[in-house]
């Protein structure tokens, strides 16, 4: 999640002439612990350094977090978009389905990552899905992936992002 946020910031600041800032929040300092990262994107310089309390977009890599007492819907309103690692609307958890999302974007990020990358690393497929919302451009995401991961790994990550972008379903 922290790497995904870093890549979003890089994509919009380096390739879209916008401003962005991320603020990660770590729970318990161990691998596999729930982590969230807030990202702010704007056309103007961002002078604020705080968490986001009313998000325009929520990206959820793992729906099991809803069963861990983590309030995914905190601050969500009718203006908020959800990008979720899920097959489609029928696979959305009950807790998430009852929230007032403006739009939901579904992508099988785990399946795409396993197929293309051979490991369940979800950053690239989820960023490809995020690009479908218009928050960041797919070309910018791909350029950031190539810059961060180099030629060989970058190309694999780009393929995963592009495939996710084409497979996104909406409700």
pLDDT one-digit tens code per residue, 136-159: 999 999 999 999 999 999 999 999
- In whole angstroms, give the CA distance from residue 141 to residue 123: 11
Q: What is the pLDDT of residue 29?
A: 58
Q: What is the pLDDT of residue 157?
A: 97
Residues in the chain: 171
Number of Cβ atoms within 10 Å of the Cβ of 15: 17
Do 124 and 153 meet the contact criterion of CB atoms below 8 Å apart? no
Of 50, 61, 111, the residue nearest 83 (C-alpha): 61
Q: What is the pLDDT of residue 160?
A: 98
Q: Residue 103: enclosing H or E segment and its boundaries?
A: strand 103-107
Give the mean pLDDT of 80-103: 93
Residue 42 has pLDDT above 80, yes or no: yes
Q: What is the pLDDT of residue 28?
A: 57
Q: What is the pLDDT of residue 24?
A: 86
Residue 30 has pLDDT above 70, yes or no: no
Q: Which domains does the chain have, with CATH numbers?
A: 52-170 (3.40.920.10)
Beta bridge partners of 40: 21
Do 114 and 156 meet the contact criterion of CB atoms below 8 Å apart? no
Give, rounded to a whole angstrom, the gap between the first and last alpha carbons of the chain.
Answer: 24
HSE-CB at 37 with a 13 A cutoff on CA atoms is 17
Give the mean pLDDT of 121-131: 97
- pTM for this prediction: 0.92
Query: For residue 5, what are the CA distances in angstroms to 58, 66, 84, 118?
Result: 12, 21, 15, 22
Residue 27 has pLDDT above 80, yes or no: no
Q: What percent of the chain has pLDDT over 90?
A: 80
Residue 167 has pLDDT above 80, yes or no: yes
- In whole angstroms, give the CA distance from residue 11 to residue 148: 11
């Amino acid at each position: 999640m922290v790497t995904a946020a870093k890549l979003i910031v890089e994509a919009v600041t380096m390739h879209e002439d916008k401003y962005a800032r991320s603020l990660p929040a770590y729970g318990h300092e161990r691998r596999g612990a729930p982590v969230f990262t807030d990202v702010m994107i704007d056309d103007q310089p961002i002078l604020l350094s705080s968490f986001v309390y009313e998000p325009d977009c929520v990206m959820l890599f793992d729906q099991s977090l809803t069963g861990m007492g983590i309030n995914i819907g905190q601050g969500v309103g009718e203006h908020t978009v959800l990008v979720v690692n899920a097959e489609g609307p029928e696979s959305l958890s009950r807790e998430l389905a009852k929230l007032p999302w403006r739009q939901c974007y579904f992508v099988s990020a785990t399946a795409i990552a396993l197929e293309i990358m051979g490991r369940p690393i979800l950053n690239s497929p989820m960023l490809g899905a995020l690009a479908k919302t218009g928050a960041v451009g797919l070309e910018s995401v791909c350029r950031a992936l190539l810059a961060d991961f180099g030629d060989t790994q970058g190309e694999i990550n780009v393929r995963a992002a592009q495939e996710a972008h084409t497979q996104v379903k909406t409700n």
